[in-house]
């Protein structure tokens, strides 16, 4: 075998190895892109919304406590606080609905691998549990606001005491 042939064969072998490395790299790049897309489309938004629900439930509880701590509050100020409490309840429900929708889309998305789908299915079940817990939480808060706004302060205080005695005040 001549030197020229050996050099050409070596160059061809190196090109084949380089081509295989490029193909492996491209495949790994594609997998990473799919994973990143899943994180950006499903995981991060759901995490953000659940964190918002956590903050909103604390604000909800805090507003109700503040409402009853001031004995003589002008009716307009009371109305503003009660309206904010109702707005928070609506926002909490919206966050749950949007999170459930995103998780359902993520589970159905063929781009997600099986392990991602399983994580989203578990998150979906946990979300359903949290939704069942937040309903009574918001209802007690609504009753506190309604009782206070209609002049039944003792009833509002009793409901708030029940609200605060709950073992887990946040959903």
Q: What percent of the chain has pLDDT over 90?
A: 39
**What pLDDT does 97 receive?**
94
Q: Is the CA virtual torsion 104, 106, 110, 116 positive or negative?
A: negative
**What pLDDT does 169 receive?**
45
**What pLDDT does 123 receive?**
92
**What pLDDT does 93 receive?**
93
**Kind and range of the H or E run holding 86:** helix 75-108
**What pLDDT does 167 receive?**
52
**What pLDDT does 166 receive?**
61
Cα atoms in the Cβ-side hemisphere of radius 13 Å centred on 85: 26
As a whole number of angstroms, the distance between CA 43 and CA 57 comes to 21
As a whole number of angstroms, the distance between CA 22 and CA 159 comes to 67
Which segments of the chain have a pLDDT < 70? 165-171
**What pLDDT does 171 receive?**
44
**What pLDDT does 16 receive?**
93
Grouping H, G, I as helix, E, B as strand and the rest as coil, residue 167 is: coil
């Amino acid at each position: 075998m001549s030197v020229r042939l050996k050099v050409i064969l070596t160059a061809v072998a190196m090109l084949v190895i380089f081509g295989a490395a490029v193909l492996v790299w491209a495949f790994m790049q594609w997998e990473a892109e799919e994973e990143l897309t899943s994180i950006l489309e499903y995981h991060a938004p759901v995490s953000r919304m659940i964190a918002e629900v956590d903050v909103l439930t604390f604000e909800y509880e805090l507003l109700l406590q503040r409402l009853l701590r001031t004995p003589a509050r002008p009716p307009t100020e009371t109305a503003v606080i009660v309206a904010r409490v109702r707005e928070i309840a609506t926002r909490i429900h919206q966050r749950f609905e949007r999170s459930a929708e995103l998780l359902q889309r993520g589970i159905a998305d063929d781009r997600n691998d099986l392990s991602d789908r399983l994580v989203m299915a578990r998150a979906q079940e946990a979300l359903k549990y949290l939704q069942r817990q937040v309903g009574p939480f918001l209802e007690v808060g609504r009753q506190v606001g309604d009782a206070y706004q209609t002049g039944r302060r003792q009833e509002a205080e009793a409901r708030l005491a029940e609200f605060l005695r709950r073992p887990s005040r946040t959903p």
